[in-house]
Every structure is written in C-alpha cells, then in structure tokens.
Chains A and B, each alone.
Chain A
Amino acid sequence: MQVFKVYFKIIKANMGQMIIYLVVFLAISLLYSLSATTKNEESFSQTKTNVAFRNLDENTALLTGFKEYLSKNANFIEVENKHEKLQDALFFRDVEYIVTIPKGFTQNFLKGKPVELQKMIVPNSTTRMYVDMAINKYFNMARVYVNNMPGITEENLVKEVSKGASFETRVQLKSFGVKKQNNGFAVASFNYLAYSLFSILILGVSSISMVFNDKNLKRRNLCSPMKNRSFNLQLIMGNLVFALASYGIMAGFGFILNREHMMSYNGLLLCINALVFTIAALSISYLVGLLIKNRSAQSAIANVLALGFSFISGVFVPQELLSDKAMTIASFAPTYWYVKANNVIGTLSNFSFDNLSPIFTYMLIELGFAMAIFSVALVVSKQKRITNS
C-alpha cells in the first residue's frame, strides 16, 4: 500500500489551494441556504416595482392621491435627491423607475393645460411599461372627471379616482397539480458544486500525476519489485477515494444545509447526479493531469477549465439566460448536462417514469463523457509510455 499512502501524502502537501475552493464553496452554500425563504403561492399578489418619487410641486391632494394610487404597483425607495445618486440607483437597479413631478404640475393639470411627468427609466423594460400604465391611468381618469364633472373639487376628484381603483380583477391561480416546492437553493448549491469540485479534482489529481510522471521518478519506480498492476491499482484506488471524499464533503454539506428539502426523492436524485458528475470530472482531471508538465501551468489550467465550463454551462448564471450559441458549445461539457439535470430535478414533483427519464438520460450522457474522456486518457498515457521508453 505504499503508493496509496504516498498518494495522500502528496494531497496533503498540496492542500492549500484546494482548501480555498472548499471554503468558498461552503461559504456560498451557507449564503444560499440562509437566503432561502419559503414562499406561499396560494393567492395572487402583484409584483411591485421599485420607484423613486420626487415631488417638486407642492403636496397637493391630487399628488398625495397619486402616490397612494401608485403604491399599488410600486415600492417607494428613498434616494438622495442628487442627480448622480439617482443615476447610480438606476444603474444598479436599486430603483427601476424615477418619476419627477415638475413645479406647478397640479395647477396646470386642473386648468387643463398640457403637463408631463419626467421619468428616468431602464429603456424598454417591462417594469417601465407597467409603471407607465399606472401613471397614465391615474391622470387620464382624473382628466375625464375634470372635463366632465364641472366644478369637482380636488378632494372629490381624488376620491372618485381611487374609488375606481378599488375595482380589482379577480385572479385565479391555477397550478395544474404541480406542487410548488422551493428546491431552488439546494439546486443552486449543487450547481455551484460543479465549479468547486471540478477545481479541487483537477488540482489534486494533477498534483499526483505530476509527481509520478516525473521522468526520473518514473524510471526509479519501474525498477522496483512492485508489480505494475498493483502500482496502477493503488493509484486508481487513490484517485477514487480522493474523488469520493471530496464529493462526500461537499454533497454532505449541501445536504445538511438544506436538509428540509433534501430528505426527499429530489434530494436523493441531486446526490446521485452529483456522484455521476464526480466520475466525469475525475476522468477529465486524469486527462489534464497527464498533459500538465509544471506547477505554474497547473493553476492556470485548473482555473480556466473550471471557470470556463462553469460559466458556459450555467453554474453562475441560470441556463435560461445564456445565449443559444453558448449552450451549443456548452453541450460538449459534462457540466452542462449536470446542471441541466439538477434544474429538472429541482422542479420535479411527480416521480413517474416519463418525468424521470430525461434526468437519467442526462446522467447517462455524463457517464458517456466520463468513458470517452477516460479512453482518450488511456490512449495518451500509452502513447507517452511508448515515446518515453
């Protein structure tokens, strides 16, 4: 068992970088689970937009009523009344709509003069459309009242308009038997695992192969009376144990943090999927390890591969938001199928064969990747042996 023991001595000597990835993973999973909230979707409630409200006119009844009216559609956010602060708030989406009421607006409006509110918006956004609708509705209604009920007081006007607003449409929420489960955070945590686990495996496995592939060391090892088969078997065992241990720590942590959601078939499937992905990641790491020659290349390749796969496969940004081109490229990476399977598992509530079959297909694709890459690795190592001897 000398080789097996050496394996873990090398891992221990190279722990530093791997620990960083592990700690970041644990921290991010913790953040995900802390921000998990269970939302109950039984009755319909409107989505509200963050709006900054600046009134340069006086606090007239018309405008107070307007603010009240708008609060049905908007959360009012206080922003310091400086142009640059407002710009900042809009850029970073602290508010999505800034409405400014110019001086003398109420007076002019009641006299029927043409008036306009100034708005700063995120161009072409849905939220803009929606707040526009509410604002225009209020003032259009008010205009109709002013024009058609001569002598109406401002107070009565506001009362009538807001009375109209109380007629709400009845909204029925139909779920079609799909139980809304909040698996989102467990899924996010398991998706993120694709990045951390992959980085750790590349770093670990390549550290080992760099040591054992060193020309002089290799020649010396070949002289030893140990059978080649036993030597390789121990290395393979080392790789497997290392990969499983990394998987165990990460999946275990993900499991504990989200235990309410994980004690279900969804949780079980997430864990199985992660295990399948671990095998695929191990095979890639093995291939990379064969090709890396020195330590400085190691962290560069680990970073680029892990980050690259994760970005295009939707680990950091949801897959729906990626462009089709990126998805096509990503489908050549096991990470893509892993994330895809996770996302399906997250929404699953009915475990019929029809619903499960896409998940198993994705897992099979991951395994297919593992086999294919492993075969390439075997060819490469054979090639290397021949050229070396």
Chain B
Amino acid sequence: MFNHIFITRIKCLLRDKQLVFWSLMFPIVLATLFKVAFSNISASEVFKTIDIAVVNSKYYQENVGFKGAIDGVSKEGKDKLFNVTVTNEKNAEELLKNSKIEGYIYLNPEVNLVVKSEGLNQTVIKTFLDDYKESASAIGTILASNPKAEHANLVKAATTFKEYTKEISPSKGKPNTTFNYFYALIAMTCLYGGFSGLKEITDIQGDLSKRAARINMAPVHKMKMFIYSLCAAFLIQFNEILIVLGYLHFALKIDFGNQLAYILLLSFVGCATGISFGTMISALIKKSEGLKVGILISTTMIGTVLSGMMYANIKYLVEKSIPILAYINPAALITDGFYTLYYYNNHQRFFINISILTLLSVVFCLTTYFIIRRQKYASL
C-alpha cells in the first residue's frame, strides 16, 4: 500500500508544473538575480587607493617634511594610501571637476585641501593631513620644553609609525552581509514546501476536491494515506532544497561554512516546518484554494522579509528590538541557522534554532491532525 500511494503522490506532485516552478525554479531564478545585484556591494566597502593631486609650488618643494610624508604613503606596497599627481593648480582643479581625483592639496605655506563633496575618501585625506600637522606641532612642543632633545631624532621618532592594533578574526567566516540574503532565500524555499503540504490536504479532504472525494471512498485508513502522501511531499521538497543549496554553493559560490551534516539537518527540519505549516494553513482555512495559497504566500513573505530577504538589516533590527518575533518566525529561525553555521564558532544558537523549529513543526502537525482526524462525510 505504501509503495502505491507514495509513488502515485510523487507523480502527482511532480506533474504539477506550477508547484515545481514556485518551489524550485523561482528560488533558483531569484538567487541568480541576487547574485547579479549584490556581487559588487561588498566590493564597494573595500579600500581602493585614493587618487589625489598636489599643487606643485615653491612651498611644496621647500617643505621637505611634508614631501616626505606624501612620498611615504604613495609608495607602492601594502600600505599605499594615495595615487599622487603633482601638477599645477589649474590642472588640479580640472581633474577635480572631472572627478578624476577626490581632492587636491595646496600649500600657502599652510596645508590646505580642496574637495568636491563629503565622503569617506575625503575624510581619509583630511585625517592624513591632520596627522601631519599634529606631528609637526608635537615636535615643536617637545623642543620647546626639552631643548636637549635632538631635532633629527625627534623627527624620526614622530614619523616612524608603530602599529598599535592587531586584528583578531571575530569568527571563521567573513562578515559578508550579502550572504544573509541567500540564507533568507533558502528559508523561503523551505517554507514554499508549504505548497505541497497544502496540496496534500486538498487532495485528502473529501469536501475540498473531487480527487479527495474519490480517495475517501477507498477502504484505506485516512491517516495512513495522509502520512504516506506527506512522505512523498517531503522527499520531493528535501530534494528541491538540496538542488537549490547545490546551485547556491557550486554555481553562485555562496559560503555555507563546511559543515555538511549540520546543513543537511537544518534543511531537513526546515522542510518539515515548511510542509507542516502548509498543511496547517490548508486545514485551518476551509475556503477556496486561491485564498489558501494567498495566505500561505503572504505569511511566508512577511516571514522572509523579517528575516532579511529584502533588506538584511531587518533581521538584526528584529532580533534587537522584538526578539520574541525572531523566535517564532520559522523563516528567521532557518535563516539564523544558516547564519550561525557560517559565522559562529559554536553550535549553541544553532541547536536552539533547530529545537524551536522542531517544536513548531510538531505544533503545526498536531493542529492539522486534530482538524482532519475522524472526519467522515455523509454525502459528497
């Protein structure tokens, strides 16, 4: 009996083109679009050498200290800060006007900076110039109070830069915000498993479809039949998730952290939550299929938006201001599961997520069970 129902249901689900589109093709298309749109966002944070110009004047040529400082930061190497063009004032202004440089420096003999707009790069240039002035003033102060100090040594001391910071990596993964979009997308895919759950209920509740009415005539226990069909839905959904995960990892190079067993566990639980959520919605709402689908899509959408699929920081905001919402939202829990696997060094929060997801699935299943159990039809 199991084999018969199982295989028939698999055929039923796979032949539903719409179902396959939304639960498999749509996530893949959306993931591709995300990749196209977000691939350069993290690159925009990365430091690029800043183009500046220095006006060549007699003050500049005479100011050996400043010239040395400029040369120091424009040398090729790891610490290269600026690409410097030394030119006349008119040319520098032209360069700035055409946005070839971020700003230009002129000496009169004080150091001055000219920029076109405010921004991070402009601030870096200014900070560099401030630093130079500070060193100069410090040397003056020390010489004034301690005439014994040797000028040459002092200049050397003031311009030798010692590194006072040490980078410690916060975790094994890089803090790449864009990954959260893809994690939320997988959460959406898991919850779209709800479509097959919804279909299973429609196809087994005699008052909802003709097919179900016919099936109810068969002398098979309804619960057995229902569980067998759910197995079929689960198998298909789980495989779809694996395909999506594989596509994300191998084609789009999304990093999930290398913990295959945990990822599979999370996908498994995520699928279960998605399907059971769909069955519950379908059992609870005894109206047209359109309405059911509408409610399923809108709840899933709200869930995924709150877990950061449209704007990653929403997830963080929700966790910070309304933490309870993050704990009952299955999409946020799945997203957070992938996030902790990628980013955290321990599994504590991952297992909290898994436990809550399991609990939610049980609640959804029980609700469904109490609604559909022992329903008999006098006439159909």
Interface residues of A (CB under 8 A from B): 41, 44-47, 73, 83-84, 86-94, 98-99, 115-130, 132-137, 139-141, 143-145, 147-150, 160-161, 163-165, 167-176, 296, 300, 303-304, 307-308, 311-312, 316-317, 321-323, 326
Minimum CB–CB distance for B343 against chain A, Å: 6
- What are 28 A-B contacts with C-beta separation under 8 Å? A46-B123, A46-B127, A47-B119, A90-B170, A90-B175, A91-B176, A91-B180, A92-B180, A94-B313, A116-B166, A119-B168, A124-B45, A124-B47, A129-B47, A134-B127, A143-B157, A144-B142, A144-B157, A144-B158, A145-B138, A149-B149, A169-B111, A169-B113, A170-B112, A170-B113, A174-B93, A308-B33, A323-B39
Taken together as a complex, chains A and B put the C-alpha atoms of A316 and B164 apart, in Å, by 41
- Of the stretches B129-137, B200-208, B255-263, B276-284, the one at the interface is B129-137
Q: CB of B2 within 8 A of chain A?
A: no
**Interface-centre pick from A45, A140, A170, A300 (highest chain B CB count, 10 A):** A140
List the A side residues contacting B111 at CB < 8 Å. 169
State which of B118, B126, B166, B315 has its C-beta within 8 Å of the C-beta of A41. Answer: B118
State which of A115, A144, A317 has its C-beta within 8 Å of the C-beta of B138. Answer: A144
List the B side residues contacting A134 at CB < 8 Å. 127
Interface residues of B in 1-56 (CB under 8 A from A): 17-18, 21-22, 26, 29-30, 33-34, 36-41, 44-48
Q: CB of B174 within 8 A of chain A?
A: yes
State which of B39, B41, B115 has its C-beta within 8 Å of the C-beta of A44. Answer: B115
From known contacts A92-B313, A167-B133, A303-B26, infer whether A44 and B118 are also in contact, taking CB-CB under 8 Å: yes
Interchain CB contact under 8 A, B164 and A115: yes
List the A side residues contacting B134 at CB < 8 Å. 137, 141, 164-165, 167
Minimum CB–CB distance for A73 against chain B, Å: 7
Minimum CB–CB distance for A347 against chain B, Å: 12
Minimum CB–CB distance for B12 against chain A, Å: 16
Q: CB of B312 within 8 A of chain A?
A: yes
Interchain CB contact under 8 A, A125 and B47: yes
State which of B116, B126, B138, B165 has its C-beta within 8 Å of the C-beta of A136. Answer: B165
User: Which residue of B has the minimal Cβ distance to A171?
Assistant: B113
Minimum CB–CB distance for B196 against chain A, Å: 15
Q: CB of B239 within 8 A of chain A?
A: no
Interchain CB contact under 8 A, B26 and A92: no
Minimum CB–CB distance for A364 against chain B, Å: 26
Interchain CB contact under 8 A, B138 and A141: yes
The 4 closest A-B CB pairs, nearest first, are A92-B316, A311-B33, A164-B134, A169-B129
State which of B47, B96, B164, B349 has its C-beta within 8 Å of the C-beta of A126. Answer: B47
State which of A87, A117, A141, A172 has its C-beta within 8 Å of the C-beta of B344. Answer: A87
Q: By the criterion of a CB under 8 Å from any partner CB, how many residues of chain B are at the interface?
A: 84
Minimum CB–CB distance for B138 against chain A, Å: 5
Interchain CB contact under 8 A, A170 and B110: yes
Minimum CB–CB distance for A173 against chain B, Å: 6
Interface residues of B (CB under 8 A from A): 17-18, 21-22, 26, 29-30, 33-34, 36-41, 44-48, 81, 93, 96-97, 110-124, 126-131, 133-135, 137-138, 141-142, 145-146, 149, 154, 157-158, 160-171, 174-177, 180, 312-313, 315-316, 319, 339, 343-344, 349
List the B side residues contacting A169 at CB < 8 Å. 111-113, 126, 129-130, 133
User: Which residue of A has the minimal Cβ distance to B44?
Assistant: A321
Given contacts A87-B343, A322-B40, 13 further A-B contacts (CB under 8 A): A41-B118, A87-B171, A92-B177, A126-B121, A129-B47, A135-B164, A136-B163, A145-B138, A145-B142, A167-B130, A174-B115, A303-B26, A322-B37
From known contacts A87-B170, A160-B141, A165-B134, infer whether A140 and B164 are also in contact, taking CB-CB under 8 Å: yes
User: Which residue of A has the minimal Cβ distance to B319?
Assistant: A88
From known contacts A171-B113, A322-B36, infer whether A126 and B45 are also in contact, taking CB-CB under 8 Å: yes
Interchain CB contact under 8 A, A321 and B46: no
List the B side residues contacting A89 at CB < 8 Å. 316
Interchain CB contact under 8 A, A307 and B137: no
Taken together as a complex, chains A and B put the C-alpha atoms of A94 and B111 apart, in Å, by 35
Taken together as a complex, chains A and B put the C-alpha atoms of A296 and B319 apart, in Å, by 37
Interchain CB contact under 8 A, B116 and A174: yes
User: Which residue of A has the minimal Cβ distance to B119?
Assistant: A47
List the B side residues contacting A326 at CB < 8 Å. 36-37
Taken together as a complex, chains A and B put the C-alpha atoms of A195 and B126 apart, in Å, by 41
From known contacts A91-B177, A92-B312, infer whether A116 and B130 are also in contact, taking CB-CB under 8 Å: no
Taken together as a complex, chains A and B put the C-alpha atoms of A141 and B134 apart, in Å, by 8
User: Which residue of A has the minimal Cβ distance to B179?
Assistant: A91
